[in-house]
Amino acid sequence: MVNLIGTYECKVDAKGRLMVPSALKKQLAPMLQGGFVLKRSVFQPCLELYPMEEWDALMKKVNGLNRFKKKNNDFIRRFTAGVKTVEVDANGRLLIPKDLVAFAGISKEIVLSSAINIIEVWDKDKYENAIDEASDDFADLAEEVMGNDDLDGIS
């Protein structure tokens, strides 16, 4: 499993290309050959960049869903809507397809934020708003999610 670290600010050019910051590129180095999957986030107005190995593991779970249940087919259709394979080119750039740029409302300034095994790609203003909005109830959320006494070794 991949454990990515860091939040990085960068710019997107008019064609939707971003230069992957060197600190992030070093972390992604073992995964560059396999490529990546870029998709719409389910819960936020951002994009999610999956290393191919992580995407394949997720698809193994999704592929286990019974497709003779309508809700499963509806989920699969929506979950995979707009999914694109992408690669970091020889110059260290990643191209964000236009439809995904539009979905996430990406302008010139973006934030690449690690989310354990994936990278979230945000328009900078939307990212700052999401962080500000979440700060009020983060303590309660942290207690609810991580405050379970049954978790081994987490304090």
Residue 9, strand partner residues: 111
- CATH number at 17 reads 3.40.1550.20
Residue 146 lies inside a defined structural domain of this protein: no
pLDDT of 2 above 80: no
- Continuous H helices in 7-93: 22-28, 52-63, 70-79
Residue 149, pLDDT above cutoff 80: no
Within-domain flag for 47: yes
At 135 the pLDDT is 72
Say how many Å lie between the first and final Cα of the chain, rounded. 22
For residue 51, give the nearest of 3, 99, 105, 106 by alpha carbon: 3
> What per-residue confidence (pLDDT) applies to 96?
97
What is the pLDDT at residue 153? 56
Domain annotation covers residue 135: no
**What average pLDDT does this structure show over 103-116?**
95
Residue 133 lies in a domain: no
Considering the domain boundaries, does residue 37 fall inside one?
yes
Question: 19 and 108 in contact (C-beta within 8 Å)?
Answer: no
C-alpha to C-alpha distance for 58 and 106, rounded to whole angstroms: 26
Q: Using the structure block, give the residue that is written with the tokens 């939307």.
A: 126
> Does residue 150 register a pLDDT over 70?
no
pLDDT (tens digit per residue) in 71-91: 999 999 999 999 999 999 989
How sure is the predictor about 142, in pLDDT bands with cuts at 50, 70 and 90?
confident
* 83, 9 contact by CB (below 8 A): no
Which uninterrupted H or E stretch holds 38?
Answer: strand 36-40
Does the pLDDT of residue 155 top 60, yes or no? Answer: no
Q: How high is the pLDDT of residue 148? A: 74
**Mean pLDDT, all residues of the chain:** 91
Distance CA 132, CA 137 (A): 10
Q: Quote the number of domains for the chain.
A: 1
pLDDT at 51 over 90: yes
Asked if 12 and 110 count as a contact pair (C-beta separation under 8 A), the reply is yes
DSSP string, 82-142: T-EEE-B-TTSEEEPPHHHHHHHT--SEEEEEEETTEEEEEEHHHHHHHHHHHHTTHHHHH
